[in-house]
Amino acid sequence: MTYQATLDYLFTQLPMYQRAGATAMKKDLTNIRALLEWLGNPHEQLRCVHVAGTNGKGTTCHLLAAALQAHGQRVAMYTSPHYKDFRERIKINAEFISEEAVIDFVERLRAAELAIEPSFFEITVAMAFDYFAQQKPDWCIIEVGLGGRLDSTNVITPVLSVITNIGLDHTQFLGETLPEIAGEKGGIIKPGVPVIVGETQTETTEVFKALARANRSQLIFADQAYDINLVGMRGMDNLKYFSIGLPSAEAGLIIGSDLDGPHLSKNLLTAYAALLLLHGNGFEVSGKSIQFGWKQVAKSTYYLGRWQVLQHRKPLCIADSAHNTEGLVPVIERLVAMGKPLHIVLGVVNDKDLSKALPLFPQAATYYFVKADIPRGLPADDLQATAKEFGLEGEVYPSVKAGFEQAKTDACARETTDGVVFVGGSIFTVGEVL
């Protein structure tokens, strides 16, 4: 098989949630366990950190990887979905799995003729564990795909479990309330394995405490254990700097990061708490290494799609893949606070609850309605019609690229001062402009 033929098989012949939605979901771990048993249970050879949460889990994974790499560790990372290249999902020190390795795995799998029908996600998880076991990295940072308890990644026994936060997303799978969703995401907590929870939330605190007690696991709420405060912009590097440390400390560690976005401080705090809990597991935590690693997260880990500046001027263009209330609210608040005319390129998936998402967007903006090039994308005409009910006005464009190009033109041509172009609504919309 060629690499393209291999991708065609993965993308078109397997049940894939990103394309098909709920019909591709599996309800248990039977298939992934069968795949891993066929492979000799490679996941049992790995030293892992397991990361779940509604928002921020991808950023937290990349922060952990960047800091560990700065300590001289070789770090594998499994994340999903991908933005531009399938191989983004499986990488070691920002280097993607090779095309040859992807081809080899799929050929072996098809030749095995196993008595199961695995999904796209189950196969990619198995591929990642198999590849990591061959490559023998020092650490594996494993991001949960959806939920936790029944996610295909939840076959590992990690050194540490991390849960960033809980929000109302994927309620058709995880439950209608925050405690129900916390119970699903808390399913990654393993007996005797410590767990970091990034944000204290009244509705979910007791859920996590009960799960930790049942598993005899040490539980730390990062925002209770440590403080983080914005120091400001320093030096010539144009980075934001934060002071982070114990609440009682007079001065914390000064951290600068090349990342940005309204959620950054929460993700830094969660990753910082996780790193301190990993101290002694084969490496000694160094403040200088954390400082070095977090100044170059994007470069050292291949970080995309979160408050990413696509161009800095004429006009300023930003993309962000936030797609639920907890993720969107601070993003939109920051956009509005810029005080400039907004041009929003918007595309969503067809199972999105628009009655909750669209009221979050400002009416005082020009909209460019698009459909990402996936079957699960909501037709732009339908999005435009529903958006109009919420006072959001704009035109339909035949592609994400066409909408983006028109938004850039309008942001410079129609205003006395340059407007701001924002691309969002889904990961797939953002992926098409990257």
CATH of the domain at 415: 3.90.190.20
Residues of the chain with pLDDT under 70: 14-26, 168-175, 234-237, 249-250, 414-417
Same domain, 117 and 215: yes
> Of 285, 301, 317, which residue constitutes the final position of a domain?
301
How far is the C-alpha of 363 from the C-alpha of 354, rounded, in Å? 15
Residue located via tokens 């958006």 = 387
Is 286 in the same domain as 313?
no
Residue 90's φ and ψ, nearest 5 degrees, are -130, 105
* Res 41: pLDDT: 98
What's the CATH number where 258 sits? 3.40.1190.10
The alpha-carbon radius of gyration of the chain (Å, integer) is: 21
CA angle 33, 39, 45 (to 5 degrees): 85
Residues 230 and 136 in one domain: yes
Decide: pTM greater than 0.75. yes
Whether 132 and 28 map to the same domain: the answer is yes
Say what the pLDDT of residue 168 is. 63
Question: Is the bond into 15 cis (omega within 30 degrees of 0)?
Answer: no
Say how many CA atoms lie within 13 Å of 153 toward its Cβ.
28
Last residue of a domain, one of 245, 274, 301: 301
- Regarding whether 356 and 262 lie in a shared domain, the answer is no
Are both 91 and 133 inside the same structural domain?
yes
Domain termination site, one of 283, 301, 319: 301
β-pairing verdict for 48-52 and 160-163: parallel
Query: What is the number of residues in the chain?
Result: 434
Domain that holds residue 324: 308-433
Same domain, 103 and 29: yes
Torsion of CA 17, 167, 128, 94, to 10 degrees: 120
Domains of the chain: total:
2
| Claim to verify: residue 95 and residue 200 sit in the same structural domain | yes
| Spatial distance between the Cα atoms of 53 and 164, rounded to a whole number of angstroms | 5
In 75-206 the beta strands, taken as DSSP E runs, fall at 75-78, 90-92, 95-96, 139-143, 160-163, 195-197
Q: Write down the pLDDT at residue 232.
A: 82
**What residues have CB less than 8 Å from 88, skipping those under 6 apart?**
79, 82, 96, 302, 304
The reported pLDDT for the residue numbered 167 is 80
What angle separates helix 30-38 from helix 120-135, to the nearest 10 degrees? Answer: 30
> Are 295 and 163 part of one and the same domain?
yes
| 287-318 pLDDT per residue, tens | 999 999 999 999 999 999 999 999 988 899 99
Q: Report the half-sphere exposure of 89 (CA within 13 A, side-chain side).
A: 22
Give the whole-angstrom CA distance, residue 52 versus residue 63: 14
**C-alpha 303, offset from chain centre:** 10
Q: Check whether residue 50 and residue 159 sit in a common domain.
A: yes
Q: What is the tens place of the pLDDT at every residue in 17-67?
A: 445 445 545 578 999 999 999 999 999 999 999 999 988 999 999 999 999
295 and 317 assigned to the same domain = no
Q: Which helix (H) or strand (E) holds 220?
A: strand 219-221
DSSP string, 121-135: HHHHHHHHHHHHHHH
Looking at the structure, do residues 343 and 293 belong to the same domain, yes or no?
Answer: no
pLDDT, one tens digit per residue, over 326-356 is 889 999 999 999 999 999 999 999 888 899 8
What's the confidence (pLDDT) of residue 16?
53
CA distances from 195 to 161, 192, 221 (A): 5, 9, 9
Q: What is the arrangement of strands in the sheet containing 227-234, beginning at the earlier edge strand?
A: 227-234, 239-245, 253-257
